[in-house]
Structure 1
Amino acid sequence: MSWDRKGLTGSSSTKTDTSSTYSYFDVMQKPLEMYVFVDPLCAECWSLEPYLKKLSLEYGRFFTIRPVLSNYLMPMTNEKFKTPRKLKEIWEKTAKRTGMSCDGNLWLEKPFISPWITPLAIKAAELQGKKAGRVFLRKVQEYLFLHNADVTDEEVLLQCGRDSKLDLYEFQNDLNSTSAKKALQADIKLTKEMEVDYIPTIVFFNQRIDEQGIKISGLYPYEIYVKVLCEVLQKHPIPSEKPSLEDFLAFYGIVASKEVSVVYDWSIAKAEKELKKLQLRQIVEKIPAKYGCFWKYLA
């Protein structure tokens, strides 16, 4: 997939980090906004996670992330991709290509009957705050891609809510609420307005400059995301220092070897070597997956 540029005018040259374009208070207000169009049931959206983590760690001081649920773009809604066998094939190819594990056999063993309940649950979680919504979205993805759980089942979603430390009483009330349905419809409307026709897609906006954003559809090497971020920011910021591996795991809870590899610029072999050192110290627990491994921090 090629990446689209929309509405940028004038020179595309960027300033150095010594530029006074952004003051301390501008950074505190986070001048950029990233709209991330995803579907929680999409394997390719799951594969975007390592790059989002690295962007957040290195440049998160400059942007806020706004997840936008775009389930109607999911292959299961496209007639030629609708069969469970075809969806299994898509998942398996994506896992092998990206290193973010998922098991395509799920589509043959227990295909989803009501996929819309999952995004509704995510919007219900967001009613408890943006951070709560993001944590819940990640937990849903973990249950789906690591454990082959049916995340369209209300009991599974409630367990995701417990693990995400949501107020379960409020969450259960909001699951089928008008507020959650309106929020999901707003996401679908935004997807159409921004002419997003493929997931995952990221649209970068500079809130201080009256220009349209830059849209990137599909998965790309990390350097492409940084290049676009710098162009929208109009400067080349110095990346923030990364946390220790132990602190990284403590913050995220469960991460893939692939995520560690991307974030720390290590090979998979190097990442797993460092993770096994923490395993020997009983700091992490290894979670085998069909493709690669995941690691759970033991608080």
Structure 2
Amino acid sequence: MEQYNCNLQNQLQVNNRPLEIYLFFDPFCTECWSLTPLIKKLQLEYGDYFTLKYVLCGQLAALNNKRRFDFANYPRLKKTSEKSTIPLQVSSGFDQDTLTPHLAAISIKAAELQGKRAGTRFITRLQELFFVENADITDINIILQCAQYVELDMDEFISDIYSASAAKAFQCDLKISSEMEITEMPSLVFFNENIEDEGLKVTGLYSYRIYVQILSELLEGYPSPSEIPSLEIFLTKNPIIAVNDLALIYDKPVKQMEQQMKKLQLQQKVKKIRAKNGIFWKYIAHSI
């Protein structure tokens, strides 16, 4: 991990935060989705102490299915792909509308080229589409809808999907996951300011207090948590969420959070969504 530590030192100095966390994930992985509320809570309470980097893991077998795409709706994409150094993949049974495998992964790296926050918003929405709305996130039409939803620059995003930059970023993620010997998802690797220290790898899911304990040990003292925003403010930035996740984030019983969501439902600020992976709440108010 020595080669990464040099880059980490520069990042930590720029961000003025003592820790860097690499999150290795697969957008199709249920356990990675289950880690999401833990990460959100960690960022809300201790985000001043670390920066978070999403790294796509190398075991993305589900992305190998090729998908058909209607270029008529997106002529700019067709023009871009014709000039691209990354050609569209064509296989028997498909015509030129067939798309490259790993498109969902490439699209994540393309979104991240517009900034870390843009990339995070895109990843969150992509997982919502897959786990809540049962959408096919290997379909370019769904991917472009996702990009529009999180308000990416669409011309830039469409160009970047087939750029060498996005492809190299994806290959870099695969190389990092391989060299760090990531074999299980999700995995977190914690780095501190001392470039001589190896990263601390944590594989699988644990309770929230375990992650706080790890931060405390690396910081050599218990960090002071920030106050979590009010429920409605939180929902404006996280509009689709399960009540169990809210209970975890706010340290309240599930029944109590359920009652709060029902009150917001009566005020027509949220609505209940029944999905194959459970029941979720969606914030629909335009203002607080």
TM-score (norm 1): 0.76
Q: Sort the Cα spacing of 1:37 and 1:207 in 2 relative to 1 into closer, same or farther, 3 A.
A: same
**Kept after mapping to 2: 8 A contact 1:36/1:65:** yes
- Distance in 1 (CA, whole Å) between partners of 2:13 and 2:224 is 16
- The alignment partner of 2:205 has SS state of coil
- Distance in 2 (CA, whole Å) between partners of 1:144 and 1:76 is 12
Partner of 1:33: 20
Q: Sort the Cα spacing of 1:27 and 1:294 in 2 relative to 1 into closer, same or farther, 3 A.
A: farther
Identity level (%): 48
Q: Which amino acid aligns with 2:51?
A: T
Partner of 1:271: 257
| CA deviation map 1:249-299 (0-9, x unaligned) | 112222221220110112322221111111111222222223432222222
- Distance in 1 (CA, whole Å) between partners of 2:100 and 2:280 is 28
Aligned equivalent of 2:146, options 120, 143, 160: 160
- Distance in 2 (CA, whole Å) between partners of 1:115 and 1:294 is 30
Correspondence list, 1:219-258, <5 A = 219-258=205-244
- The alignment partner of 1:191 has SS state of helix
Q: Sort the Cα spacing of 1:291 and 1:269 in 2 relative to 1 into closer, same or farther, 3 A.
A: farther
| CA deviation map 1:17-39 (0-9, x unaligned) | xxxxxxxx989711111100001
- Distance in 2 (CA, whole Å) between partners of 1:134 and 1:180 is 15
The alpha-carbon deviation at position 45 of structure 1 amounts to 0.6
Q: Which amino acid aligns with 1:243?
A: P
Partner of 1:206: 192
* 1:281 corresponds to 2:267: yes
Structure 2: gaps of 5 or more residues? 3-11, 64-98
Partner of 1:11: none
Partner of 1:68: 55
- Distance in 2 (CA, whole Å) between partners of 1:255 and 1:291 is 12
The alpha-carbon deviation at position 224 of structure 1 amounts to 1.0
Aligned equivalent of 1:53, options 22, 33, 40: 40
Q: Sort the Cα spacing of 1:115 and 1:274 in 2 relative to 1 into closer, same or farther, 3 A.
A: farther
- Distance in 2 (CA, whole Å) between partners of 1:267 and 1:53 is 18
- Distance in 1 (CA, whole Å) between partners of 2:215 and 2:175 is 25
Partner of 1:183: 169
**Kept after mapping to 2: 8 A contact 1:118/1:152:** yes
**Kept after mapping to 1: 8 A contact 2:24/2:187:** yes
The number of residues matched between the two structures is: 243
Structure 1: gaps of 5 or more residues? 1-5, 8-24, 78-112
Partner of 1:172: 158
The alpha-carbon deviation at position 208 of structure 1 amounts to 4.5
| CA deviation map 1:210-231 (0-9, x unaligned) | 3112111011111111111111
Partner of 2:202: 216
The alpha-carbon deviation at position 127 of structure 1 amounts to 0.8
- The alignment partner of 1:47 has SS state of helix
TM-score (norm 2): 0.78
Q: Sort the Cα spacing of 1:216 and 1:115 in 2 relative to 1 into closer, same or farther, 3 A.
A: farther
- Distance in 2 (CA, whole Å) between partners of 1:136 and 1:144 is 12
- The alignment partner of 2:257 has SS state of helix
- Distance in 2 (CA, whole Å) between partners of 1:130 and 1:244 is 24
| CA deviation map 1:116-153 (0-9, x unaligned) | 11010000101111111110011100011111111000
**Kept after mapping to 2: 8 A contact 1:31/1:208:** no
Q: Which amino acid aligns with 2:179?
A: E
**Kept after mapping to 2: 8 A contact 1:42/1:74:** no
Correspondence list, 1:82-93, <5 A = none
- Distance in 1 (CA, whole Å) between partners of 2:100 and 2:206 is 31
- Distance in 1 (CA, whole Å) between partners of 2:211 and 2:161 is 34
- The alignment partner of 2:27 has SS state of coil
Question: Any runs of at least 4 consecutive aligned residues in structure 1 with deviations exceeding 3 A, and if so which?
Answer: 25-28, 74-77
- The alignment partner of 2:265 has SS state of helix
